[in-house]
Amino acid sequence: MPRSPLPLAVVTVAAGGLLVAILVGTVVPFRAEERATYDRALIERDAAVLYPEALEQLAQSEAAAGGHAASVADLLAPVLRNANIESRGAPPAEGMLAAAVFDGEGKLVQFAPATLLLPELSPEMYPRLLGGEQISLYHPDFPLDQYFAGVAQPAGGAGLPVLEVLLPLPGRDAAGPVGFVQYFIDARRLAVELAAVDRRFNRETTATLAIGGALIALVLGAAYFGFRRAQGLIAERNERLVRANFELTLAAKASALGQITSHLIHGLQGSVAGLSAVVTERSHDSAGALEWRSAATYTARLQAMIQETVALLGDEGAQVSYVLTGRELADTIRRRNAQAAADKGVGLRVTGEFEATIDSHRGSLLCLIAANLVQNAIQATPAGGRVEVVLRDENEAITLAVTDDGPGIPPAIQAHLFEAGRSGRPGGTGLGLAISRLLARQIGANLGLEGTGAAGTTFQLTLPR
């Protein structure tokens, strides 16, 4: 058994989720990388300022030594003094907290303040410094009590934001760095800047995702409703195609039925004429005269129907044409259906007092359609009710309206009124309305349900002039 396709709404939501996931997977890493680049620039800003100053102090120290040999400590001492902290006994409230200088082999030479606990170069940083790299490390929770003697950790256990800067100091004649300097800087202002940058990037990322998500929803929503509309059009056209195919099949059957009917009518003419003579003769006998008179009446009606059908077939075959007025059409419809209405105890009123004319072929088919509609109306109307037939000349078209006093057509039947096999009457076949619509289309008319309800039902045929 083939699996049914997923509903369009589920497919649309799944596609939207996939597109949103792709958007998030693209935007978030890109914005995170961009934010990291910006943060790195802020963190390395102090190193870019301190490095030229340290180099200038080293150059001045080498110039003062001249050609005389100077110890590494003598060369690096001015760099440490430039930090303006060598005489302090504790780290200041802000600015430069501590500094230390190391020789070219990474050994500690001097440091300040005196409370700094044995500064050293980590094994990971030393090779990078030998390569001439300037290193900036941001410590958001720097443990002051582990690096300074006599300094207590702030309340709550959170450390101070500290920026650690490590700079190589290349000598004038040395093949590698003559030493290194390490700075510890209060980074509370830097922390505020980094937090502001993070907030800005978070807002921009959220806005980008929101706008992207809204655009995805808009595009997918438009696509969804477009597909729904296309599906509706396809379904409607498929339904029309099925109906057209059905009507073509019914037309072919009607054509074959017409051929059979012609043959049947031709054979019935003689038989019904003989039957009429016998029944008429017996109706004059005293015994059973009432029943024979009733049979004679039905036989006469059958002869009239055969004669009308023969006349219609003869006119069409010989292409004979004459004109009928509205009054003549109304009289024909009244005459053909009066007896059936009387038998049911239903009143029949037919009006059509206009002088406009139509050709006999269209008029005859219109009378056949009217006969079908009136017979249905008579059967739907209870005894004592009324069926009204109105012919109107409306300039551009002639309309025929048939109204009954029946209980109305159930909603389940209304959508299939003109399909063979669908009838609201017990035992009905639905062929009458189906054939009536086919006949209407043959003369360029349109037959439809005008209205139905508890007060009755109206069918209307519109025949262009």
Going by the DSSP 8-state scheme, the letter that residue 148 receives in this structure is B
SS3 label, residue 453: strand
Q: Highest mean pLDDT range out of 93-107, 287-301, 332-346, 420-434? A: 332-346
More confident of the two residues 248 and 238: 238
- DSSP-derived secondary structure for 71-118: -HHHHHHHHHHTTT-TT-SS--SSSEEEEEEEETTS-EEEEESTTB--
Q: How many helices (H) and strands (E) does the chain have?
A: 11, 12
pLDDT digits (tens, 9 = 90+) for 375-394: 889 988 999 999 999 988 88
Q: What is the pLDDT of residues 45-83, one digit of tens each?
A: 988 888 888 888 888 887 777 655 566 677 777 777 766
Mean pLDDT check: name the lowest of 182-196, 308-322, 405-419: 308-322
Amino acid identity, position 142: F
In the chain the domains, ranked by start, together with CATH numbers, are 44-186 (3.30.450.20), 321-464 (3.30.565.10)
Within 8 A by CB and 6+ apart from 28, the residues are: 205, 209
**Confidence bin at 263 (pLDDT 50/70/90):** low
Q: How confident is the model at residue 161 (pLDDT cuts 50, 70, 90)?
A: very high
Mean pLDDT of 172-187: 82
Contact 102, 108 (CB under 8 A): yes
Chain mean position to CA 59: 73
Q: Is the pLDDT of residue 105 over 90?
A: no
Stated pTM of the model = 0.49
**Pairwise CA distance, residues 202 & 208, whole Å:** 10
pLDDT at position 138: 93
Of the pLDDT bands very low, low, confident and very high (cuts 50, 70, 90), residue 333 is confident
